[in-house]
Amino acid sequence: MIATAESLTEGVDLSGRRIVVTGASSGLGREAARVLALRGADVGLACRNAAKAAGVVRDFVARHGEGIAGRCELLDCDLERMDAVRATSGVVFRRDLETVKLNPQSSDLDAAKRL
């Protein structure tokens, strides 16, 4: 059997956890965001393309039902723009979001080093 994020988190309850995932519009970040929300966490999807991110949440709803939408918040953030990173950081701190799952590409790391 192939282990997946979904199979590995079977039975895990993340209700009440508040987690931000960068790069949540595709690939690993998208899958991480989906499974974290599926397990009950409130997930901030930090993405640079709002339309693409909204489509991701629509896909989560199609797969798991309307309830998952209430646990997904879109955070507009182009990680190459320091003003956007600072604005999103402000949201993260104001809302007391507890974990930031960085899912960086190399350009994101370059941006992070400039913080």
Tokens of 48: 């640079």
Nearest approach, Cβ of residue 43 and ligand NAP (Å): 14
Nearer to ligand NAP, 28 or 82 (CB): 28
- Say which residues have a Cβ less than 8 Å from residue 88's Cβ, sequence separation at least 6: 20, 46, 75, 76, 77
Q: How far apart are CA 84 and CA 93, in angstroms?
A: 14
- Residue where the block lists tokens 């953030």: 77
Segment near ligand NAP (CB under 6 A); pick from 4-12, 19-27, 65-73, 92-100? 19-27
The answer to whether residue 103 forms part of the interface with ligand NAP (CB under 6 A) is yes
- Which residue type does 87 have? A
Select from 17, 80, 95, 102 the one that contacts ligand NAP (CB under 6 A). Answer: 80
Total residues at the site for ligand NAP (CB under 6 A)? 18
Please give the single-letter amino acid code of residue 57. V
Residues 6+ apart with CB under 8 A from 73: 42, 43, 44, 45
Q: How far is the CB of 11 from ligand NAP (least distance, A)?
A: 25
Residues that bind ligand NAP (CB under 6 A): 23, 25-29, 47-49, 52, 78-80, 103-105, 107-108
